[in-house]
Amino acid sequence: MTNYQLPITSYMFQLLKKEINGFFSSLTGYIVIIVFLLSTALFLWVFPGQFNILSNGYASLDPLFIIAPWVFLFLVPAVSMRLFADEKKSGTIEFLFTQPLTEMQIVLAKYFAGLVLVLFSLIPTLIYLFTIYQLGTPQGNVDFGGVWGSYIGLFFLAAIYVSIGVFASSLTENQIVAFLIALIVSFFTYIGFESISSLSFLSAISQTILNLGINEHYKSISRGVIDLRDATYFISVPALFIYLTKLVLESRKIIKKNILKQKIVRFILVLVSIILVNYIVTFLLVRVDMTSEGRFTISKQSEKLLENLDDELYVKIYLDGDDLPIGFKRMRKSLSDLLEEFKVYASNDISYHFINPSENPDKKVRFALYKQLFEKGLVPIESQETSDEGKTMQKMVFPGVIVVYKGKEMGVNLLKSNPRYKPDGEENINNSVQSMEYELTNAIRKLTKGEKPEIAFLEGHGEFGEYQVMDVTNTLSEYYEVKRGVIGGMYGILDNFKTVIIAGPISKFSTGDKFVIDQYVMKGGKVLWLVDGAKINMDSLQYSPITIAMPLDLKLEDQLFRYGVRVNPGLLQDAQCAKIGMPRRGSDGQTKIQLYPWTYFPVILSDNTNEINKYLDVIRLEFPGSLDTVSSSPDVKKTILLHSSPKAKFDYAPAEINLLQAQTKPNENLFNQSKVPVAVLLEGKFDSNFKNRLVDQKITQGNKIIAKSKNTKMIVISGSSVIKNELSAKGEVYPLGFDINTRKTFKGNKQLIVNSVNYLCDDEGLMSIRLREIKLRLLDKNKTSSEKVFWQLINTIIPIIFIILFGIIATYIRKRKYTGE
């Protein structure tokens, strides 16, 4: 009879099984896992601080994946320290070498045993996922893709730490020494290279040194983004330490010098191969974003812009400090994550630094910095936060950054203040996070732009003068060369402009000028029309409370109608309105200015449906009209950008305007029109207004009429006041949207115009980034408050009970197996 020989894999499995059983046969193994779970639970659910999930209020396990590398520094060496050290101390290692296994197979069996044990210790943490699932608002509002991706990151991290632990255990027979070696080497591998790279004399190779460390690769993968370069690193490092462990075990057999040389040569070949593979994959940009909304996937437009950077980009972020409100801590982390993604695609280095503008105890120095930041365009807000104890804390926050490139600086405000919510409310924070990529990319574009494209304000038809649009002109000049001029019937005079702005005309357009504009559109030109439906003489209201609004005949009706829109001749009134100041004699006989709601000054709130109107602040209009979309041409897409509130009315001109009307409450029954359109975006291929028409040769100047346009776009706003800034008595320019009556600035006016022009000129597609949606995942505040203790106990005790029960069952099964009881 021949003896049956077990396959090699069976011996390896038996050894792996032996190691796992050995770990769970001792009380020490259970104590190590229980200490790991208890310390993790206390940080995440009990102890106050930035890692406390209940206090943070977000349905996310990010804090777990942030502290995991530090907790693993103690868990993994404790799990792996006995793997070889115990064999050496007990003398069983020589017996192990007599088994039909190679040194590599022995090492792999021990390694996988250690890895299985670490992964087993992570299983109870799934109760954390169940908790945020239950507490989410609505229930189940969890990014599972991102969570599983982050757990994959933890697996990779464990793979490295275990390989280091196995290597350390092979060096000594003392488990404590093995633990300390693994702890020190793991700590250095995780954070040590980062510290070395910061040394000034190594700045030339700092990024290379940084890439040697775990943290540089774990930062991305812990967010749920699997990058081929990171995955290769997390496979290469364990492979290297496993091979080193194999060499340590083989060292007992090395007697001859030539064998030693062979081992050294082989190690060098392995090391060079690992370095070469990692170098090659740096040229392969393969990334999988496992988050539900592709949260860490930047747009192709941003990628292209970053790839063209030819110098270092530096970002100063003024969001720091332990007392930073929770919402802004989330904004800070999101900003850090985004910049890390930018670094992946940038052809040159991107660095960033967090600064706490309030850290200096000297009030004068602190306020001097506040002033400096304000002058650079960063707008602070006073944020209020109520602690669990009911205390209200105020904090001056600058939710913005300063981007520096080639010696040029630009301040960028990141907070998108939707008037429907508190400035520092979760909705506004989330809106800010969603628009963060656009704001930063837009700033980089402005800093890197060489020759600016040209846009033009038309003149010659009573349009607003240069000083009346000075504020928005200054802002637009950051992007474009802004010109002004008359058409004069000169064919092709507009062709070099990316966009033409027609702002508040009051006199008729000649056929020649209409033809020039029309053919400009046919060639793909873009137009921002800001035209009114009625003409009002505001000066007459200074002498009489009554004036008449007359229809405004610009001779543009047929042209706009052909393009797909009609501006109605009249005035829009809205119950949602700004105020007007009127003199009124007080009881003391003194005349004072009294503010009254003035329905002719509508206040518009955006619906956030388009790249242009998304995250707009409040918009204030004066005597706007209304518009209708016409024509059912499939070639033109029409998108309403702005509309009135649900309580509005429209009066066709001629219409009487009586200032005294402001002093009486409007009749709500008359305000029965809802969402009356005020602004529309038209996109597609337009028919020429001069199609199939006989046109005088003097107008065409011998040029053939283009009957159908290229793909192009235009915006029509039936309220020219949206672009007009007021002037003081001394001729000083007020900010666009400034309300003289209330001394308040309606920021939405300028945002609308800038967004509109940027959209019309946007050949790079950057405006599409504004459509980015990131779901807001919050915990239910009522539940987390009323059920806080319950969930703290669940997440602290249940994992420990799980391990204890597992230990009892494992002991029972082992006892039954070996004693038959």
DSSP track, 148-168: HHHHHHHHHHHHHHHHHHHHH
Looking at the structure, tell me whether residues 40 and 165 fall in a common domain: yes
In a domain, 776, yes or no: no
Looking at the structure, tell me whether residues 381 and 514 fall in a common domain: no
What is the rounded distance in angstroms from the CA atom of residue 537 to the CA atom of residue 720? 14
Q: Is the peptide bond before 654 cis (omega within 30 degrees of 0)?
A: yes
In a domain, 106, yes or no: yes
Burial category of 140 from C-beta neighbours within 10 Å (exposed 0-12, middle 13-18, buried 19 and up): exposed
With contact defined as beta carbons under 8 Å apart, do 512 and 484 qualify? no
In a domain, 295, yes or no: no
* pLDDT for 510: 95
In this prediction the pTM is 0.74
Measure CA of the first residue to CA of the last residue in the chain; give whole Å.
35
What is the rounded distance in angstroms from the CA atom of residue 18 to the CA atom of residue 106? 12
Q: How far is Cα of residue 461 from the mean position of the Cα atoms in its chain?
A: 43
With contact defined as beta carbons under 8 Å apart, do 438 and 766 qualify? yes
Q: Token pair of 143, please? A: 């990014």
Looking at the structure, tell me whether residues 246 and 372 fall in a common domain: no
Amino acid, res. 312: E
With contact defined as beta carbons under 8 Å apart, do 254 and 270 qualify? no
Residues of the chain with pLDDT under 50: 1-6, 421
With contact defined as beta carbons under 8 Å apart, do 83 and 182 qualify? no
Burial category of 791 from C-beta neighbours within 10 Å (exposed 0-12, middle 13-18, buried 19 and up): buried
CB count, 10 Å around CB of 375? Answer: 9
With contact defined as beta carbons under 8 Å apart, do 580 and 741 qualify? yes
DSSP code for 420? T
In a domain, 265, yes or no: yes
Looking at the structure, tell me whether residues 482 and 435 fall in a common domain: no
What is the rounded distance in angstroms from the CA atom of residue 533 to the CA atom of residue 624? 7
Looking at the structure, tell me whether residues 472 and 437 fall in a common domain: no
With contact defined as beta carbons under 8 Å apart, do 494 and 759 qualify? no
Which of 150, 94, 107 shows the shortest CA–CA distance to 12? 107
Cα angle 330, 333, 337; round to 5: 135
CA distances from 58 to 64, 131, 327, 759 (A): 13, 12, 10, 34
Helix (H, G, I), strand (E, B) or coil at 99: coil
* pLDDT for 2: 45
Q: Token pair of 232, please? A: 């290769």
Q: How far is Cα of residue 310 from the mean position of the Cα atoms in its chain?
A: 24
Strand order in the sheet with 546-551: 534-535, 546-551, 655-658
Cα angle 522, 524, 529; round to 5: 85
Q: Token pair of 223, please? A: 């967010």
- Structural domain boundaries, residue 716: 454-771
Q: Is the peptide bond before 138 cis (omega within 30 degrees of 0)?
A: yes
In a domain, 1, yes or no: no
* pLDDT for 754: 93
With both helix axes pointing from N to C terminus, report the angle between 175-187 and 82-90 in degrees, rounded to the nearest 10: 150
Q: Token pair of 462, please? A: 């009573």
* Side-chain half-sphere exposure of 145, counting CA atoms within 13 A: 11
In a domain, 553, yes or no: yes
* pLDDT for 316: 94
Q: Token pair of 533, please? A: 């439906």
What is the rounded distance in angstroms from the CA atom of residue 102 to the CA atom of residue 116? 21
**Count of domains in the chain?**
3
Looking at the structure, tell me whether residues 56 and 187 fall in a common domain: yes
Which of 335, 338, 337, 339 shows the shortest CA–CA distance to 320? 335
Q: Report which secondary-structure segment, H or E, holds 650.
A: strand 648-652
What is the rounded distance in angstroms from the CA atom of residue 458 to the CA atom of residue 530? 11
What is the rounded distance in angstroms from the CA atom of residue 151 to the CA atom of residue 123? 11
CB count, 10 Å around CB of 160? Answer: 26
Looking at the structure, tell me whether residues 420 and 328 fall in a common domain: yes
Cβ partners under 8 Å of residue 1, min gap 6: none
Q: Which of 394, 427, 448 represents a domain boundary (last residue)?
A: 448
| Cα torsion through 398, 404, 408, 414, rounded to 10 | -40
* pLDDT for 721: 95
Q: Report which secondary-structure segment, H or E, holds 363.
A: helix 363-375
Task: Give me the count of residues in the chain.
Answer: 821
Which of 269, 352, 279 shows the shortest CA–CA distance to 314? 352
Looking at the structure, tell me whether residues 459 and 444 fall in a common domain: no
H runs (alpha helix) in 282-355: 300-307, 326-345
Looking at the structure, tell me whether residues 758 and 794 fall in a common domain: no
* pLDDT for 285: 78
Looking at the structure, tell me whether residues 139 and 214 fall in a common domain: yes
In a domain, 441, yes or no: yes
What is the rounded distance in angstroms from the CA atom of residue 685 to the CA atom of residue 305? 29
* pLDDT for 655: 92
Q: Which of 448, 467, 484 represents a domain boundary (last residue)?
A: 448
Q: Which of 448, 481, 501 represents a domain boundary (last residue)?
A: 448
Which of 646, 680, 655 shows the shortest CA–CA distance to 533? 655
Looking at the structure, tell me whether residues 664 and 546 fall in a common domain: yes
What is the rounded distance in angstroms from the CA atom of residue 345 to the CA atom of residue 306? 6
In a domain, 564, yes or no: yes
Looking at the structure, tell me whether residues 746 and 799 fall in a common domain: no
Which of 458, 463, 550 shows the shortest CA–CA distance to 505? 463
